[in-house]
Structure 1
């Protein structure tokens, strides 16, 4: 007699975190932004000047997307002219560590 009872349940990937990783890798500039922030380059104009091919429009889209996920945060200073800086959040530090682990895994697979 055949039983319809399932022995193994299919576990799906965590929906939100999987989408976040997918969106970060879809934006080719996110990893560059993380690298810039780790080197202390945290002002948008300085970021654009530091990377060939990066435009202000694309950078702003990338920064906005990363802020929505809570990976980076915007700090606005009440000055004239306006001053804005971006920093990695504590959650963002954890997320970037995971991306570093993925890079190490890729290196092991390539070796």
Structure 2
């Protein structure tokens, strides 16, 4: 987790620091609809490597945006879900979706 004293002064830069990669944004988008297993996320994120998916999820867990729930079963069953802090980012994703739709209509 980024320590408060290490955060950029600019609030936009702080947001970019936390979710600035396309993969993190798309993971958040996918988790809006509810908990997902790693395999579900990998399938929906065409082109993401397992390494990048794992690193992104671990980073978002560390930053308090995502929770990892391990069901302690055999075979392993792990789910990822948004934390309340992660859910607070949903209006930003919705605004991005709306703007993307608008942009497509303009070109």
Same fold at TM > 0.5: yes
Q: 5+ residue gaps in structure 1?
A: 1-11
- Partners of 1:105 and 1:22 lie apart in 2 by 22
The aligned counterpart of 2:5 is none
Q: CA RMSD in A?
A: 2.6
Larger radius of gyration: 1
Q: Is 2:65 aligned against 1:71?
A: yes
Aligned length: 95
Task: Output the CA distance in 2 between the equivalents of 1:50 and 1:100.
Answer: 18
Residue in 1 that maps onto 2:3: none
Give SS of 1:85's match: strand
User: How many Å apart are 1:40 and its aligned residue?
Assistant: 3.6
Could you list the per-position Cα deviations for residues 40-65 of structure 1 after superposition, in whole angstroms to 9, with x for gaps in the alignment? Answer: 46100121122221121110011011
- 4+ runs deviating over 4 angstroms: 104-107
Q: Please, which runs of 5 or more residues in structure 2 have no aligned partner?
A: 1-8
Of the three residues 10, 13, 18, the one matched with 1:13 is 10
TM-score by length of 2: 0.70
| Structure possessing the higher relative contact order (Cα contacts under 8 Å, 6 or more residues apart) | 2
State whether residues 31 and 82 of structure 2, in contact with CA within 8 Å, keep that contact through their aligned partners in structure 1. Answer: yes
